[in-house]
Amino acid sequence: MHANDRGDPVRLAYTTISMTVIGFIVLPLVFIIWMSFFSNKILSFPPEGYTLEWYARAWDLADFRDGFFLSMRMSLISTAISLVLGLPASFALARGRFPGRDAINTILMSPLMVPGIVSGGALFVFFLEIEFLTDVIIAGSSLGLIIAYSLIGLPWMVRLVTTSLIGVNPSIEEAARSLGAGPLTVFFRITLPVIKPGLIAGSLFAFVNAFIDLEKSLFLVGPDHTTLQIALLNYLEWTFDSTIGAVATVQIALVAALLIITDHYVKLSRAF
């Protein structure tokens, strides 16, 4: 922090503007949480009273309940796949010196660069063509979602783990070798613990970005097989009541908890 305390009116201006803008970002979420407890039948302000019925209602609606669990399952599985695919790739990228390394890095990052709606559409068409050819249903099934979500998680995992790996002082592995450790021991007892921030941050971002995905899921959900975000979207087409608020609040609480817990153990700023 700069030992400079001049410019009080300037500082005041910046503080005011910043608080307003940050409020603009955060307040909508505050409102939706608050309004999830309103007893107003039509979602409106000010509150007529408070109730928990919307939460009960959200739980009763199959789309939301099943959607929540489906989203959780799909996101967890795809995060695991991102880890299995991404960890070795990160090693190769961080440690290797070979021609085409930049090109390969770009390819692995490409899912982030292609718009969700375009890659979602491409996957949809691709899966349906496979279905026409082989009668194997992918679009509308768990497999389709898992593939799409793994595409989302992989670049996040690779980027964050590679950053972590690059930050590892290679001398500590050499020191372990000089003290008698074999390559697997070095990996599990020296390298892995040191890149823990990257692994945790990568998993967190892979999981959450899969959970909140909209554009790819749009194409890949099916009857009785819908994700939470799509369920919300469909519900909003016809009704606008605080059931939305209840679902939103639960999702916000889940993500906030994940972030805070992760940040407590692994300073997220260090992973970037």
Partner 1 sequence: MPEVILEKVAKHYGQVVAVEDMTMNIADGEFIALLGPSGCGKTTTLRMLGGFVNATRGRIIVGGKDVTDLPPNRRNMGFVFQNYALFPHMTVAQNVAFGLKMRSVGKAETADRVRKALDRVRLSQYADRLPQQMSGGQQQRVALARALVIEPDVLLLDEPLSNLDAALRQEMKIEIRQLQQSLGLTTIFVTHDQDEAMSTSDRMVLMSNGKIEQVGPPDEVYNFPRSAFAAGFLGIPNLLPGALGNTDHASYHLDSGQVIRLAGQDPVPGASFLALRPDAISISSQAPSKNDNMLAGRVEIMTYHGAAVDYQVRLDTGAMLTARAVAPGLGGAPVLHQGTPVWLHWPPSAGVIVSKH
Partner 2 sequence: MTVADMTINSAPRVAARKTRQRSRLPWLMSPALIFVIACLLFPLAMMLRYSLNHYDPAELMVSALTAENYLKFFSDSFYQEVLWRTVGISVLSTVICLVAGVPVAYFLARYTSALYKRVLLLLILVPLLIGNVVRTSAWMLILNDTGVLAAFLGLFGYTGRLNLMYTSTGVVIGLVSVLLPFMVITLNSVFEAIDHNLEDAASSLGAGHLTIMRQVVLPLALPGILAGSVLCLILAMNAYATPVLIGGPTFNMMAPIVYQQIAKAMNWPFGAALAFVLMAATLVMTIGVSAVVQNKYRKWSE
Given the complex with partner 1, which of 5 and 102 has the nearer CB atom? 5
Minimum distance from CB of 161 to partner 2 (Å)? 11
Given the complex with partner 2, which of 171 and 269 has the nearer CB atom? 269
Hunting for tokens 């991102």 — which residue is that?
82
Per DSSP, what are the bridge partners of residue 38? 50
30, burial (CB in 10 Å: exposed 0-12, middle 13-18, buried 19+): exposed
Residue 184: which of partner 1, partner 2, none does it interact with, CB under 5 to 8 A by kind? Answer: none
| DSSP structure class, residue 38 | B
Tokens representing 122 are: 């491409």
244, burial (CB in 10 Å: exposed 0-12, middle 13-18, buried 19+): buried
Of residues 85 through 114, those in contact with partner 1 by CB under 8 A are none
Of residues 2 through 21, those in contact with partner 1 by CB under 8 A are 3-7
Question: What SS3 state is found at 5?
Answer: coil
Of 1-9, 31-39, 210-218, 244-252, which part binds partner 1 (CB under 8 A)?
Answer: 1-9
Neighbouring residues of 243: CB distance < 8 A, sequence distance ≥ 6: 54, 57, 58, 61, 64, 235
Minimum distance from CB of 21 to partner 2 (Å)? 5
Minimum distance from CB of 172 to partner 2 (Å)? 18
Minimum distance from CB of 49 to partner 2 (Å)? 16
Minimum distance from CB of 2 to partner 1 (Å)? 9
Tokens representing 39 are: 């007893």
For the chain, give the longest Cα–Cα distance.
72
> What character string, x for contact with partner 1 (CB under 8 A) and - otherwise, covers 234-253?
--------------------
Decide if residue 1 touches partner 1 (CB under 8 A): no
Residue 192: which of partner 1, partner 2, none does it interact with, CB under 5 to 8 A by kind? Answer: none
Interface residue list for partner 1 (CB under 8 A): 3-7
